[in-house]
């Protein structure tokens, strides 16, 4: 086969450092748009980005030439630098050092999109920690609670 083709969909999740509530409604739309541009510049189209005051979910296509860790590092580093330029209240902004990433089948894209779109409503009754633990368990990811949070 002369071509290399792929369709790898990822659900990426990470929080602000110590889950500090930096992502307010004044900045979230601009932050998500900026992040979408970073995904795009890395050849990984963002399908949808959303979240709440302390974390982000991104559904994206992974380029066949980009590694997950390189993509996450670029998105987090670029968006953190960008946030710090948006005013004094964001100068202390940073992301947690880790992340979660989960594969999404093409048949589950609509469900993943709805899940990301409903984050604000979802988190009226659930913390990020509860949500993330459930995502890990549902995906069969083993984890040690001592090393998940920062």
Percent of the chain exceeding pLDDT 90 equals 87
Question: Where do the structural domains in the chain lie, given as residue ranges?
Answer: 8-147
Mean predicted lDDT score pLDDT of the chain? 95
- The string of pLDDT tens digits covering residues 44-53 is 999 999 999 9
Query: Is the model more confident about 150 or about 126?
Result: 126
In CATH terms, 8-147 corresponds, of 2.160.10.10, 2.40.30.10, 3.10.20.30, 3.30.70.1290, to 3.30.70.1290
* pTM, rounded to two decimals: 0.93
Judge whether residue 143 has pLDDT over 70: yes
- The string of pLDDT tens digits covering residues 87-114 is 999 999 999 999 999 999 999 999 999 9
One-letter-per-residue 3-state SS of the chain: CCCCCCCEEEEEEEEEHHHCCCCCCCCHHHHHHHHHHHHHHCCCCEEEEEEECCEEEEEEEECCCCCHHHHHHHHHHHHHHHHCCCCHHHCCCCECCCCEEEEECHHHHHHHHHHHHCHHHHCCCCCHHHHHHHHHHHCCCCCCHHHCCC
Query: Is the model more confident about 125 or about 72?
Result: 72
**Contact call for residues 48 and 117 (beta carbons, < 8 A):** yes
């Amino acid at each position: 086969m002369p071509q290399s083709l792929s369709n790898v969909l990822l659900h990426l999740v990470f929080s602000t450092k110590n889950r500090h509530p930096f992502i307010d409604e004044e900045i979230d739309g601009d932050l998500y748009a900026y992040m979408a541009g970073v995904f795009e510049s890395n050849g990984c189209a963002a399908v949808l980005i959303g979240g709440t005051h302390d974390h982000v979910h991104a559904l994206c296509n992974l380029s066949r030439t980009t590694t997950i860790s390189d993509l996450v590092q670029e998105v987090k580093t670029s968006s953190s630098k960008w946030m710090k330029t948006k005013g004094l209240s964001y100068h202390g902004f940073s992301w947690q050092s880790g992340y979660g990433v989960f594969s999404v089948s093409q048949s589950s894209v609509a469900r993943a999109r709805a899940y990301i779109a409903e984050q604000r409503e979802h988190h009226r009754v659930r913390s990020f920690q509860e949500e993330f633990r459930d995502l890990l368990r549902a995906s069969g990811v083993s984890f040690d609670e001592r090393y998940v949070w920062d």
